[in-house]
């Protein structure tokens, strides 16, 4: 097996609660435990791992987009990251004996690809290595047996077999559904009922054959009967021959077609209401159009002659304003200078009347011309329709050659219109009338003799019944084959599911043993055994996993959620997840536990810390908790050389979580100055951290703070307490060059640091980097005075039996004293 992978480091920057970059180094101590009250950013460490390993680059509880109660990926980044010019990201370094891989994943933007280091670890995880306390109960209480089966099958690396089961089951259901579908047979029965006039409503071979004989064939020939509904039957062969012979003659259908084609050309009907005879058809319509055209032409010719003398319209249009009513008319003609009184009209009124009469004649001509144009268009349309209708009748007159020739000649002469005169239609109309009369007499005679029962119609009905029979036979054959396939799939499915079941159950048994070991370590050796069981072999749905216990003799095989306590249910889920991680994540033995002891009392919390120590010694474990007792149990039971224990002492909105062992280094301060930025905040923090450390080493007593800030001591308090402590011991720190006051008093005030880190009322009151650098050199000088004169170490302790602190080094334990001027250059 390949060497396992471990986390070498994890860095959060601008991610969730962490604004400023924070690196967790696992190079010396593989495991980490973080204690913090709720809301101080401890879970952001676990969130960083989940984000790094997630497929979509988000957290499950945040979702892929903001919807309902999910905040989406937007909530990944710290709210001040953009203002602080920090790119939100999570960076990991992964190590194995083969080497190191590192990578960073951005927490903003639409594209948040997983880096190679994250992908490498993710590929090693059969089971998610992250266990959230709030989600533990879901597997036990909320998941259905089908969901549990899918989860565990994936843990067991049986995902492909699960898909085979799903596909096989879906195929069986689909085929079984098809065999039970009767819609096609019902459709054929509906068509049969319609075809037989509701005589036969459902397919039954004897009933269909009886209908064919008595309703179709007997009216044609009582001696003609089918013995089977088939084209090879002797009666059907005879029927087909007679239908063909009938088709070769003019039958009833042919006569009706001739009559219809003839009536398209000419027809005479009588109105039943008033007895009026109505003549219609293409030929009368064309004749009427020709007559109308002739009248319109004569009218246009007459009106054109009347209007010939009225060509002065343009002239009148120009002169009309001179003779309008209400206008003083001219005394002389504007054209020929003749006095109006001497003209034929005799007056202006006479002129207007004369013009009006001639203009009316022009209007009559215009109307006649318009009527002529309409008549010509109507005649053209009627001509086209008549030419189109004639071939329909001509093509049906094979048995009447004389009429066919006459109609053909009429059509040819008609085609030359309007270049030549149209042919006379009287003889053609008389011939068509005679044809219609003859055809109607033949139709009446045939209908009286056989009605609708013709051999052609009879064969058509029998053929339709044969088509329905063929369709039904095809549907029935398909149904029979699907039934065979369904039975075969059921047999194969049973065999395949049984083999998969045996495989899954064998692996479940392997998981069940460590699960119960963990469960009993938490709940005690007499705890009820938990069983992971599949349904019985007879159950068709094998894709279910039952989580069962024997609660009592009369309560065997019951669901844990109905009988166990809250703590026990929590333990079942925790044991199952931890067992699965231990069993299947061997390529990357990493586990992250986020607040998993919510439901436990003190004894159970200690038991959990004990099982971590005994069963997961080879794992890399990250624990976050708000339970200080559980945190102390971990410190008590786990190896210090493998575990780093730390606590978050507060959440700084402008920085992020502040850890108890977090120190601002000289390099961090100098880096701020190198970037041209003020380091006043960092200086103040570094001074507080040093003062807190030296006060703790010296055993300095400080005034107990108010409850709201019980553990948060300000720099001024620490400096004053240290100054009082040293004064009581008659220990006077050497002066710092450039500072006349006692340096601890100056440090308590922190004028320079406060000026650069606090808001100033003074206009343009910005801190000076030069002042900060000078102040920092003074502080380092003062800090350098606190060292052991013998071994030069800087760590001290003060047991309760001693007044003065001594060197912490066991081989030294020299009592602390300030060095002389020659020793003051020693640095820590």
Query: Which of 805, 774, 809 is CA-nearest to residue 790?
Result: 809
Least confident of 144-158, 290-304, 782-796, 807-821: 144-158
* Mean pLDDT in residue range 652-657: 87
* Mean pLDDT in residue range 326-349: 71
* Mean pLDDT in residue range 620-645: 91
Q: Are 359 and 310 in contact (CB under 8 A)?
A: yes
* Mean pLDDT in residue range 356-368: 70
pLDDT in tens, 375-389: 899 989 989 998 898
The rounded radius of gyration (Å) of the Cα atoms in the chain is 55
State pTM to two decimals: 0.52
Distance CA 42, CA 11 (A): 14
Least confident of 35-39, 356-360, 390-394, 485-489: 356-360
- What is residue 342's predicted lDDT score, i.e. its pLDDT? 72
- What is residue 21's predicted lDDT score, i.e. its pLDDT? 92
* Mean pLDDT in residue range 792-800: 90
Q: Tell me the CA distances in angstroms from 824 to 687, 694, 780, 788, one per residue in order.
A: 19, 17, 11, 11
* pLDDT score of 266 more than 70: yes
Distance CA 773, CA 752 (A): 10
pLDDT in tens, 435-449: 889 888 877 776 665
Q: Which is more confident, 27 or 323?
A: 27
Least confident of 365-379, 448-462, 672-686, 732-746: 448-462
pLDDT in tens, 396-436: 888 888 888 988 998 999 899 988 888 998 998 998 889 88
pLDDT band at 827 (very low <50, low <70, confident <90, very high): very low
What's the CATH architecture for 1-125+585-662? 3-Layer(aba) Sandwich (3.40)
Contacts 24+ apart (CB under 8 A), 505-512: 505/533, 505/534, 507/156, 507/158, 508/152, 508/156, 508/532, 508/533, 508/534, 508/545, 510/583, 511/152, 511/155, 511/156, 511/576, 511/579, 511/580, 511/583
**Helix, strand, coil percentages, rounded to 5, for the chain:** 55, 10, 35
Q: What percent of the chain has pLDDT over 70?
A: 85
* Mean pLDDT in residue range 638-642: 90
- What is residue 181's predicted lDDT score, i.e. its pLDDT? 86
* Mean pLDDT in residue range 9-26: 93
- What is residue 527's predicted lDDT score, i.e. its pLDDT? 81
Least confident of 119-133, 219-233, 479-493, 795-809: 479-493
- What is residue 2's predicted lDDT score, i.e. its pLDDT? 66
* Mean pLDDT in residue range 629-648: 89
- What is residue 532's predicted lDDT score, i.e. its pLDDT? 74
- What is residue 250's predicted lDDT score, i.e. its pLDDT? 54
Q: Give me the chain's average pLDDT, please.
A: 83
Least confident of 286-295, 492-501, 798-807: 492-501
pLDDT band at 823 (very low <50, low <70, confident <90, very high): very low
Distance CA 561, CA 569 (A): 6
* pLDDT score of 546 more than 80: no
pLDDT in tens, 728-771: 999 999 999 888 888 888 888 877 777 755 554 555 555 688 88
- What is residue 725's predicted lDDT score, i.e. its pLDDT? 93
Enumerate the domain spans of the chain: 1-125+585-662, 141-251+454-567, 254-449, 664-823
pLDDT in tens, 56-93: 899 888 887 777 777 788 889 999 999 889 999 999 99
Residue 250 dihedral angles phi and psi, to the nearest 5°: -80, 105
Q: Are 721 and 700 in contact (CB under 8 A)?
A: yes
Q: Which is more confident, 122 or 171?
A: 122
107: Cβ contacts below 8 Å, ≥ 6 apart:
14, 15, 51, 73, 76, 77, 88, 89, 90
Q: Tell me the CA distances in angstroms from 724 to 615, 729, 786, one per residue in order.
A: 51, 9, 16
- What is residue 16's predicted lDDT score, i.e. its pLDDT? 92
Q: Tell me the CA distances in angstroms from 361 to 86, 136, 297, one per residue in order.
A: 98, 107, 17
- What is residue 619's predicted lDDT score, i.e. its pLDDT? 95
């Amino acid at each position: 097996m390949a060497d396992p992978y471990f986390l070498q480091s994890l860095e959060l920057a601008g991610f969730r609660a962490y604004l400023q970059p924070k690196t967790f180094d696992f190079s010396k101590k593989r495991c980490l435990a973080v204690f913090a009250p709720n809301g101080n950013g401890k879970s952001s460490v676990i969130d960083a791992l989940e984000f790094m390993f997630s497929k979509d680059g988000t957290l499950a509880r945040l979702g892929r987009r903001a919807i309902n109660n999910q905040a989406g990926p937007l909530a990944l980044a710290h709210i001040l990251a953009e203002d602080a010019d920090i790119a939100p990201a999570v960076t990991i370094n992964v190590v194995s004996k083969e080497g190191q891989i590192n990578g960073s994943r951005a927490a903003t933007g639409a594209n948040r690809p997983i880096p190679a280091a994250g992908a490498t670890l993710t590929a090693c995880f059969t089971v998610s290595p992250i266990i959230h306390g709030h989600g533990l109960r879901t597997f036990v209480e909320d998941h259905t047996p089908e969901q549990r089966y899918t989860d565990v099958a994936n843990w067991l690396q049986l995902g492909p077999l699960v898909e085979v089961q799903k596909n096989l089951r879906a195929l069986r259901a689909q085929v079984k559904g098809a065999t039970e579908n009767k819609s096609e047979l019902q459709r054929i029965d509906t068509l049969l009922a319609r075809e037989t006039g509701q005589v036969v409503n459902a397919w039954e071979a004897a009933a269909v054959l009886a209908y064919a004989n008595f309703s179709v064939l007997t009216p044609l020939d009582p001696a003609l009967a089918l013995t089977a509904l088939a084209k090879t039957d002797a009666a059907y062969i005879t029927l087909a021959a007679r239908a063909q012979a009938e088709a070769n003659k003019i039958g009833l259908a042919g006569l009706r077609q001739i009559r219809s084609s003839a009536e398209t050309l000419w027809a005479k009907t009588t109105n039943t209401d008033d007895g009026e005879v109505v003549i219609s058809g293409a030929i009368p319509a064309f004749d009427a159009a020709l007559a109308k055209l002739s009248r319109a032409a004569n009218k246009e010719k007459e009106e054109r002659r009347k209007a010939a003398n009225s060509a002065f319209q343009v002239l009148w249009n120009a002169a009309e304003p001179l003779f309008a009513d209400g206008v003083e008319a001219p005394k002389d003609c504007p054209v020929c200078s003749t006095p109006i009184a001497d003209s034929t009209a005799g007056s202006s009124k006479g002129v207007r009347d004369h013009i009006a009469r001639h203009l009316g004649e022009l209007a009559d001509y215009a109307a006649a011309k318009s009527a002529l144009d309409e008549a010509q268009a109507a005649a053209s349309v009627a001509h086209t329709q008549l030419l189109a209708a004639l071939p329909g009748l001509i093509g049906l007159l094979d048995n009447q050659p004389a009429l066919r020739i006459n109609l053909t000649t009429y059509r040819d002469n008609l085609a030359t219109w309007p270049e030549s005169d149209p042919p006379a239609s009287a003889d053609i109309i008389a011939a068509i009338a005679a044809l219609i009369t003859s055809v109607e007499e033949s139709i009446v005679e045939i209908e009286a003799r056989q009605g609708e029962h013709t051999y052609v119609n009879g064969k058509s009905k029998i053929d339709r019944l044969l088509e329905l029979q063929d369709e039904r036979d095809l549907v029935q054959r398909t149904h029979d084959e699907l039934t065979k396939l369904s039975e075969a799939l059921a047999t194969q499915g049973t065999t395949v599911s049984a083999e998969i079941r045996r495989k899954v159950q064998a692996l479940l048994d392997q998981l069940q043993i460590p699960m119960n070991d963990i469960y009993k370590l938490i709940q005690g050796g007499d705890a009820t055994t938990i069983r992971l069981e599949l349904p019985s072999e007879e159950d068709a749905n094998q894709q279910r996993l039952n989580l069962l216990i024997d609660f009592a003799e009369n309560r065997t095989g019951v669901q844990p959620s109905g009988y166990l306590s809250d703590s026990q249910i929590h333990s079942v889920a925790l044991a199952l997840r931890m067992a699965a991680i231990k069993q299947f994540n061997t390529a990357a033995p990493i586990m992250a536990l986020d607040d998993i002891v919510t439901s436990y009392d003190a004894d159970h919390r200690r038991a959990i810390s004990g099982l971590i120590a005994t069963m997961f010694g080879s794992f890399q474990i990250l624990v976050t908790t708000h339970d200080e007792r559980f945190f102390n149990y971990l410190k008590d039971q786990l190896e210090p050389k493998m575990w780093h224990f730390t606590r978050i002492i507060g959440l700084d909105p402008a920085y992020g979580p502040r850890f108890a062992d977090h120190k601002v280094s000289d390099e961090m301060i100098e880096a701020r100055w190198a970037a041209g930025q003020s380091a006043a905040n960092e200086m103040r923090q570094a001074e507080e951290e040093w003062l807190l450390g030296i006060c703790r080493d010296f055993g300095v007593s400080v005034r107990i703070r108010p409850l709201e800030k019980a553990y948060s001591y300000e720099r001024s308090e620490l400096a004053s307490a240290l100054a009082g402590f040293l004064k009581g011991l008659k220990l006077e720190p050497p002066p710092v060059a450039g500072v006349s006051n006692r340096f601890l008093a100056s440090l308590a005030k922190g004028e320079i640091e406060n000026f650069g880190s606090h808001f100033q009322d003074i206009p343009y009151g910005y801190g000076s980097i030069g002042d900060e650098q000078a102040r920092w050199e003074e502080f380092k000088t003062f800090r350098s005075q606190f060292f052991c004169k013998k071994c030069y170490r800087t760590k001290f302790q003060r047991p309760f039996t001693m007044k003065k602190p001594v060197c912490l080094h066991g081989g030294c334990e020299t009592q602390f004293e300030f060095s002389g001027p020659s020793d003051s250059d020693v640095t820590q």
